[in-house]
Amino acid sequence: MWAEVPPPRKLVAIVAGVAVLSLLLPAWRWLTADAIAPESPGRALDRVPGHPRALELAAARAFATGDTRAAEALARSAIAGRPLEARPYRILAAIYEESGRLPEARAAHAAAIAVAPSDAVARLWMASLLLAEGRFAEALAHVDRGLRARPDLASAVFPVLAGGLGNADFVDALVAGLGAAPPWRQHFLEEAVREAGTIEAVLPLIEGLAGRGGLTDREIRFVMARFEGERRWEDLRVAWHRLVAGPEQGADFVVDGGFEQDPHGFGLGWRLPRVPGAIVGFAPARGSADGGRALTVRFLDQRVPFQHVQQRLLLPAGRFRLSGEGRADGLRARRGLRWDLRCDERSEVLAQGPLLAGTQAWQPWRVDFEVPGGCPSQWLTLRLEAVGPSEQMVGGSATFDGLSIERLGEEPHTTSPVVVPAAQSQGVSRGFKRLRAQCDTDTMPTVSGAASGSRGCVS
């Protein structure tokens, strides 16, 4: 009889094996439930009743099929099993919103944010509710937190923000938010300017930012470059005077023809790019006792295809006079240096100043010319006249001042006021309701033309 009793070591091994299996089996069931829950939450719940992720996914499916009662019960069970997970709260919020229980929806979103402050989806859903209610400052605070956590969602959010730019109250709140320089500010401004139909659509925002700490040089350059690249000359003119130069004054068409300001390098200002073999700078103006200055170019006895002082002009069709003064100091060039004006559209020469070479005292000059139709933009350029590289060897220096263009025989140059459309008070609410209309695979509310509600955008 005693021979049939397992040896003590064998008995201990059997007991240990059973104990390990009793521990591993639940863990195995849990792991398999985790694996199959995304495809079949029902099967996962059969394996592990009360599996939180399976409950959450089952709730999302029930909501998507219209069974809100079952969806709510499953979502609450998921919260009970995993109270620090944000997604079940978002499902509850969607259920409440679908049934018009907006205070409860807001509370559910707040709960999701409380347990997961960096949950971008919960933040943006909360923002969509607040924006539709006109609580713009609160909404934009959530937008900021959401985009900081998930910058990749900007492509879905930015068009909705841009859609609210017709609402003056929304623009005020947006200016205040962007004035704090969030990391997504520049990206949004570039997107808004790029997609705007006209400059007037974004000018309230741009001007608001300009008055609240100012725009960065990069932001202003982007505004200018957008309109210049699209050859939208009137928009370029408006943006230049509103953001950079101030209101147009007088009848002179050349910006800073006396070279008293540092060159802007974009828009309608002077552009002085660097070029090997020449140094472009400024020197005291003739007879100046108050710090006035003139443009100076010094050549280093090298071959230079010089045409590196330019200004874009927007002269209307008509007759004009280009004038200025210049002097040369040992300027060694085969032909010489002079100003010319050309039509941007077809490089047609409209006017040329006198050639400057050798050593010459200050000499005033002027030339009359006509801008034809079909030439809305022109380039005023200081150019080295040369036919081929052999004539580009140049040394010495030249100085210029008093560049001016005035209109001849017609009414003085005036500017029509730009009318900014009245605020559209309802557009932003409709736009942000559409923010919740569809969701991508990561449950981010995105923009959609069809206001299909929030069903299916919760998991």
CATH number at residue 85: 1.25.40.10
247 Cβ contact partners less than 8 Å away, ≥ 6 residues apart: 241, 415
Residues 327 and 227 in one domain: no
Residues 227 and 327 in one domain: no
Number of structural domains in the chain: 3
User: Residue 262 domain-assigned?
Assistant: no
Element (H, E) at 19: helix 8-36
User: Residue 292 domain-assigned?
Assistant: yes
User: Residue 348 domain-assigned?
Assistant: yes
The pair of structure tokens assigned to 392 is 């580009």
Element (H, E) at 363: strand 358-371
Residues 209 and 239 in one domain: yes
Residues 331 and 300 in one domain: yes
pLDDT of residue 399: 94
Residues 280 and 346 in one domain: yes
E-state strands within 243-291: 270-271, 278-284
User: Residue 9 domain-assigned?
Assistant: no
Distance between CA 38 and CA 56 in Å, rounded?
Answer: 10
Q: Is the pTM of this model over 0.75?
A: no
User: Residue 265 domain-assigned?
Assistant: no
Distance between CA 59 and CA 371 in Å, rounded?
Answer: 71
Residues 275 and 242 in one domain: no
Residues facing 406 on adjacent strands: 321
User: Residue 80 domain-assigned?
Assistant: yes
**Separation in Å, CA 435 to CA 253, 262, 353, 423:** 46, 45, 59, 21
pLDDT of residue 414: 46
Amino acid occupying residue 304? V
The pair of structure tokens assigned to 443 is 């449950």
Residues 305 and 354 in one domain: yes
User: Residue 445 domain-assigned?
Assistant: yes
Contact by Cβ (8 Å): 420, 203: yes
Residues 91 and 195 in one domain: no
Specify whether the backbone of 338 is left (phi greater than 0), alpha (psi in -120 to 50) or beta: beta
Distance between CA 25 and CA 22 in Å, rounded?
Answer: 6
In the three-class reduction of DSSP (H, G, I as helix; E, B as strand; rest coil), residue 354 is classed as coil
Residues 194 and 283 in one domain: no
Residues 202 and 277 in one domain: no
Structural domain ending residue among the three candidates 97, 117, 137: 117
pLDDT of residue 11: 56
pLDDT of residue 250: 60
Identify the CATH number of the domain in which residue 307 sits. Answer: 2.60.120.260
Residues 220 and 151 in one domain: yes
As to burial, measured by CB atoms within 10 angstroms (0-12 exposed, 13-18 middle, 19+ buried), residue 310 is middle
Q: What is the mean pLDDT of each run of 10 residues along the chain (459 residues)?
A: 56 48 44 50 54 66 70 71 74 76 79 79 85 90 93 91 90 93 93 81 86 83 85 87 75 88 91 92 74 90 93 95 94 93 89 94 95 94 90 92 89 43 41 42 32 40
User: Residue 108 domain-assigned?
Assistant: yes
Distance between CA 235 and CA 314 in Å, rounded?
Answer: 11
pLDDT of residue 137: 94
Contact by Cβ (8 Å): 209, 171: no
pLDDT of residue 416: 42
Strand order, beta sheet including 378-385: 270-271, 309-313, 378-385, 336-343, 349-352
Distance between CA 383 and CA 391 in Å, rounded?
Answer: 13
120: closest CA among 97, 140, 93, 142? 142
Structural domain ending residue among the three candidates 100, 117, 134: 117
- Residue 351 structural domain: 270-406
31 Cβ contact partners less than 8 Å away, ≥ 6 residues apart: none
Structural domain ending residue among the three candidates 117, 139, 172: 117
Query: DSSP readout, 30-49?
Result: HHHHHHHTTT-HHHHHHHST
